[in-house]
Amino acid sequence: MRFQRTNRPGFLFGLIDFCTAGLFFLFYMPLSGLQDELDEILGRRTQRYWVAYLLGIPTLFIYTLVWMANIAEELKVKAIEMGLEGPHTSWWHMFGWNTFGVLFMGPAVATGRFFKTLNQIEERLNHNNTKIQET
């Protein structure tokens, strides 16, 4: 799979998502193909964001936050396996900024690093695929 978008502006996405109470990613994840890209990178079918969002409503979005933090941790592990230099997203980075940093644009900071790590992984995978096709 060739990843088309390897320069997503994570901080901006995080800011928009925060201002729309998570509704931005409800539409962005399936329409942009992000959910499928995460499935490809992580090697498994991840729970759909809309399901995590709906389950988050009765839990004051704690479920959604933990879901996102788990995905962030899996991306960190993948980035380390691939030998990418950090800093990477992580469970604590995602959870901490979204809870303790909520008054200081923390969700945008967490989402920014999440997408920075995702962009690096996708660039490397694109580069590796190009090398394979050349041989």
pLDDT in tens, 51-74: 999 999 999 999 999 999 999 999
Residue 46 confidence (pLDDT) above 90? yes
The whole-number pLDDT of residue 102 equals 86
The whole-number pLDDT of residue 4 equals 86
What is the pTM (predicted TM-score) of this model? 0.91
Write the CA distances from 130 to 1, 8, 112, 116, 124, integer angstroms: 11, 21, 27, 21, 10
The whole-number pLDDT of residue 134 equals 59
Predicted confidence (pLDDT) per residue in 73-128, tens digit: 999 999 999 999 988 999 999 999 999 998 889 999 999 999 999 999 999 999 88
Quote the CA–CA distance of 37 and 60 in Å, as a whole number: 27
Predicted confidence (pLDDT) per residue in 10-33, tens digit: 999 999 999 998 899 999 999 999
